[in-house]
Structure 1
């Protein structure tokens, strides 16, 4: 069984072929055309530029993915595409292409939730059984979820303002670093003193699993405004302080989620991190320590599979397809598509059970 996956939800034009095989051989191809240079001058993603770039490059990216996999559309069992959440222009490009291929070749179409694809990536690269606890951290989302099965998620906490990746991007811009902010902060922080600047950790020590990063952004803006230009040492120390503050905040809320998860799902054995921010080495180290202390396995996909890619879309499509979860060609792209799908079971002060 093989699935072709298409990813166009933001600024990566990607296609991949994934097979239902032992995990070492599952990814048959994983092709990405990055638009980083197209958006760098603007300090962020410009939706119209992204959509036009997807139109320009998607045909070639799909052809390369099939060629790298040594296969063709005849041998593909299903076509999967990221149908949301994301930028509507890019989603329309990818979903329309996937539906066209599915219709022309008589293949089933699977509309994939981009967040679910991140959530299931750990099952692509590791033998992870349900239920597991997930910290999903990316440019647009920051959530803690109990993952009970494909399509079955309990939202424990989410951001009240900025996502962690957005906090990295915005503080990097304030410090004068490049885009995307996460890698720029991490690189600048090497050799820096993360304890030099006392930055806030919003909500730290409070009950619940929600996040907040707007106070951190404000503190960095004030520091940058008070200084008459940052010298290289200042930049390294401030970058390290930002990185440490964000990782501290993520770890603090994860501790609360672990306690809840182990009470309600004692059979769960894994703490998983996913999303673009999951490639941060300091965050991985902190979460690994938390997992070990709680007697959990810590699972993190390879960094290349943390950022947006089509292998995760193809894998999520495969997981859904083999459960019979396929979609009609009238399935719309959805710029907003909550992962849990129903009312959230967030932990706000007091722990709550599902249902």
Structure 2
């Protein structure tokens, strides 16, 4: 009989304070998330200092709630996993200090986890992963194509050269007078459009898997400003549709090319932008045509949460790769090095 392994995980990389208890790397016993969206909404984006303070205010309560909901005792925990980076350094520090304190008090191992590995392995909480696989990570802070040749073996083959896709959605939404966070509002507007305002695609070099969204964002701003100068009201729905189609076209085309080139047996869609209906539908159709399974976790596991950190932390648990109490928050953190166990 397999020994029961209980990981308590902590996630504070940006503006969600989260704690979770996951059994044997796949069974979620609790996953408590405290969002700060309402706090940051009036600023149109996350204010790092405020985010850090909110984490401090919420941490003890969220930890207690996660353990209580899981129906376990602290003495039953096998290890503590925590997001080490990347992220906002002040936010990361709150989680790292809390995790180190708890690991020290309980005399159990501490595991530092890479945030993007968490997004990728959130999929392992809902479906068995088949290697080699390709992961498209699309969120407010990240846009990457990651080839995962085997369990925990990461290679970033493409990344954004400027804005992350979620960040681009928020900036475009702000330009069109839509609320923060902008992604859901742009997605909804695009679905209501009667016509499309066609916008450019940034393909970059022929063989590149990198992304660029700054030019597309500028094209949207130009449309808004031109309408203002003419005294017209910009067709927001048509503009949203043009922006979404341009974004989705590039993401899907490059992801599917990567799947073919690397012989991937699954495509994983990870991160908060995985909730975007246009992106889900286009990827679903492309994967169906190519005969490649598309794996997308439920919305609760797409946005930042601690269960995904536990899932990725399970990789380190199995290898016995634990961190010391000198673990530091790493706002700039290498996914490849983390997976290889060199950090």
Give the alignment's TM-score, normalised by structure 2: 0.93
Match runs of 1:111-260 below 5 Å:
111-193=112-194, 196-203=196-203, 206-228=206-228, 234-260=235-261
Match runs of 1:305-320 below 5 Å:
305-320=301-316
Gaps of 5+ in 1: 263-267, 343-355
Contact 1:204 1:249 (C-alpha < 8 Å) held by counterparts: no
* Structure-1 separation of matches of 2:295 and 2:302: 12
Partner secondary structure for residue 200 of structure 1: coil
Map of 2:97 onto structure 1: 96
* Structure-2 separation of matches of 1:334 and 1:128: 28
* Structure-1 separation of matches of 2:9 and 2:134: 25
Partner secondary structure for residue 178 of structure 2: coil
* Structure-1 separation of matches of 2:185 and 2:256: 27
- TM-superposed deviation, 1:151: 3.5
* Structure-2 separation of matches of 1:141 and 1:279: 15
* Structure-2 separation of matches of 1:76 and 1:67: 13
Which range moved further: 301-310 or 49-58?
301-310
1:6-45 Cα offsets, whole Å, 9 max, x none, are 0100000111111117x5xx01011011000111111110
1:287 paired residue among 283, 300, 304 = 283
Contact 1:204 1:253 (C-alpha < 8 Å) held by counterparts: no
Gaps of 5+ in 2: 339-343
Q: 1:322 to 1:279 in 2, by over 3 A?
A: same
Contact 2:173 2:185 (C-alpha < 8 Å) held by counterparts: yes
Map of 1:353 onto structure 2: none
Q: 1:289 to 1:230 in 2, by over 3 A?
A: farther
* Structure-2 separation of matches of 1:154 and 1:31: 30
- TM-superposed deviation, 1:293: 2.3
Structure 1 ranges of 4+ moved more than 6 A? none
1:333 paired residue among 329, 333, 336 = 329
* Structure-2 separation of matches of 1:320 and 1:295: 32
CA RMSD of aligned residues (A): 1.7
* Structure-1 separation of matches of 2:48 and 2:182: 18
- TM-superposed deviation, 1:303: 1.4
* Structure-2 separation of matches of 1:305 and 1:134: 15
Partner secondary structure for residue 321 of structure 1: helix
Which range moved further: 203-212 or 131-140?
203-212
Map of 2:21 onto structure 1: 17
1:91-117 Cα offsets, whole Å, 9 max, x none, are 000000000000000110000000111
Q: 1:204 to 1:294 in 2, by over 3 A?
A: farther
- TM-superposed deviation, 1:312: 0.4
* Structure-2 separation of matches of 1:148 and 1:217: 34
Contact 1:202 1:215 (C-alpha < 8 Å) held by counterparts: yes
Map of 1:300 onto structure 2: 296
Which range moved further: 110-119 or 314-323?
314-323
Map of 1:55 onto structure 2: 56
* Structure-1 separation of matches of 2:76 and 2:254: 45
Contact 2:152 2:315 (C-alpha < 8 Å) held by counterparts: no
Give the alignment's TM-score, normalised by structure 1: 0.90
Map of 1:75 onto structure 2: 76
Partner secondary structure for residue 341 of structure 1: helix
Contact 1:150 1:320 (C-alpha < 8 Å) held by counterparts: no
Which range moved further: 199-208 or 53-62?
199-208
